[in-house]
């Protein structure tokens, strides 16, 4: 048994042992929402059913942040399902209310989860994401793109729009370019504040990301990322002004350098990366 599984195993025993203490709140009551963990529990069941139904991939799946299981109830009996939840109280609630979930539930931080140990082969990602770490979740998805064929998630509406936007719009940004390089993105539907407890201050939206057929960018990927990030670092500046700090001796006379970064597609950024390579 390797170290990681030893940890999961130890956790299961610990969880069983702890059930009596936790039963007190998890049987009678609900989990108390904690702001620091981005907890806004979805209470509208028709919406959670739609989110679960939006997942088209039929293989293994990972749910991030199951909370009280409003989405999990439609997913956890699938083969190859796993969920990762950071909150002790939510974990205790799930263990009591979802018999059989124990072997599929990992207590911990998704951002630190060793994905290569938890899953062999491809897996989809699904969840009503903790909004405070949604960008970090997407950066992990990008890093693991060749094993993650699909993502269905609820996030802050503005972030959803930004990710799904085409070039030329105001909100198109770093994540739009980096995600669109590898995924086709569909904005599925908007969800109002009233569907949650407690209601968040912002509207939410559900999006679906499906891995496109691109195998590589055809340019140096690290440099591509650096160029995208630097260009959008000061998005009101022209590319010339933003990029000359990175490439002080380059020729910035081509027309494209008069543009602002939001006008450039993934292919344009690939072209720029080749230009500077
Ligand atoms: N899926 C539930 C809860 C959504 S709220 C619902 O729709 O009602 C976000 C959930 O993510 C919370 O349960 C929170 O505890 C959990 N969470 C927050 N940060 C996390 C992290 N780093 N890793 C795993 N889960 C996290």
Tell me the domain boundaries of the chain. 3-211, 221-276
Tell me, what's the pLDDT at 169? Answer: 87
Tokens of 108: 């911990």
Residue 98 near residue 126, CB atoms below 8 Å: no
Specify the CATH class of 221-276 in words: mainly alpha
- What are the residues facing 240 on neighbouring strands? none
pLDDT at 28: 52
Cα 209 from chain centre: 10
- Rounded to an integer, what is the distance from CA 159 to the centroid of its chain? 11
Taking 70 as the pLDDT cut, the residues of the chain under it are 1-28
Cα–Cα distance, 255 to 240 (Å, whole number): 10
pLDDT at residue 30 in the model: 86
Q: DSSP readout, 113-158? A: --HHHH-SS--EEEEE--GGGHHHHHHHHHHTTTT--EEEEEEEHH
Q: What is the pLDDT of residues 98-108, one digit of tens each?
A: 999 999 999 99
Between the CA of 185 and the centroid of ligand 1 the distance, in Å, is: 22
Query: What is the rounded (10 degree) CA torsion for 101, 102, 105, 108?
Result: 150
Ligand 1 test: best mutation among 46, 67, 153, most atoms within 8 Å of CB?
67
pLDDT tens, position by position, 148-171: 999 999 999 999 999 999 998 888
The per-residue pLDDT for range 245-261, each reduced to its tens digit, is 999 999 999 999 999 99
Decide which of 3.40.50.150, 1.20.140.10, 3.30.930.20, 3.40.390.30 is the CATH code for 3-211: 3.40.50.150
Tokens matching residue 227: 């160029």
Do β-strands 196-197 and 41-42 pair in parallel, antiparallel, or remain unpaired? Answer: antiparallel
Structure tokens at 179: 């995600």
Asked if residue 179 lies in contact with residue 138, where contact means CB atoms within 8 angstroms, the answer is yes
Quick one: residue 108, left, alpha or beta (phi over 0 = left, psi -120 to 50 = alpha)?
A: left
Dihedral sign (CA 67, 71, 76, 80): negative
Give the residue, by CA position, lying nearest to ligand 1 atom 3.
67
Ligand 1 first shell, C-beta below 6 A? 37-42, 64-67, 70-71, 84-87, 90, 109-111, 128, 130, 133
Question: Quick one: pLDDT at residue 260?
Answer: 96
Q: Are strands 150-156 and 124-128 parallel, antiparallel or unpaired?
A: parallel
Please give the span between the terminal C-alpha atoms of the chain, in angstroms, as a whole number: 46
- CA-only gyration radius of the chain, Å: 21
Distance CA 261, CA 259 (A): 6
Residue 265 Cα, ligand 1 centroid: separation in angstroms? 33
Alpha helices, DSSP H, located in the chain: 3-28, 45-53, 88-97, 115-118, 134-143, 157-164, 174-180, 221-233, 239-243, 266-276
């Amino acid at each position: 048994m390797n170290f990681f599984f030893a940890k999961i195993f130890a956790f299961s025993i610990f969880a069983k042992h702890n059930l009596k203490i936790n039963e007190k709140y998890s049987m009678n009551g609900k989990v108390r929402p904690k702001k620091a963990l981005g907890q806004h529990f979805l209470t509208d069941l028709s919406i959670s059913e739609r989110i679960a139904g939006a997942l088209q991939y039929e293989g293994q799946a990972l749910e991030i942040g199951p909370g009280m299981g409003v989405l999990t109830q439609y997913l956890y009996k699938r083969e190859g399902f796993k969920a990762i939840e950071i909150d002790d109280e939510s974990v205790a609630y799930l263990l009591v209310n979802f018999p059989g979930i124990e072997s599929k539930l990992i207590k911990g931080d998704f951002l630190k989860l060793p994905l290569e140990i938890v899953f062999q082969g491809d897996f989809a990602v699904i969840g009503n994401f903790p909004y405070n770490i949604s960008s970090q979740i997407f950066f992990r998805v990008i890093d693991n793109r060749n094993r993650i064929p699909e993502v269905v998630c609820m996030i802050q509406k503005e972030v959803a729009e930004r990710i799904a936007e085409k070039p030329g719009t105001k909100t198109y940004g770093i994540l739009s370019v980096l995600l669109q390089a590898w995924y086709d993105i569909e904005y599925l539907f908007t969800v109002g504040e009233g569907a949650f407890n407690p209601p968040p201050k912002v509207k939410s939206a559900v999006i679906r990301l499906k891995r496109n057929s691109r195998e590589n960018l055809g340019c140096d990927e690290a440099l591509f990322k650096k160029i995208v990030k630097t260009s959008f670092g000061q998005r009101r500046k022209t590319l010339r002004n933003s990029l000359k700090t990175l490439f002080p001796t380059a020729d910035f006379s081509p027309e494209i350098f008069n543009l602002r970064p939001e006008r450039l597609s993934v292919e344009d950024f690939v072209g720029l990366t080749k230009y500077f390579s």
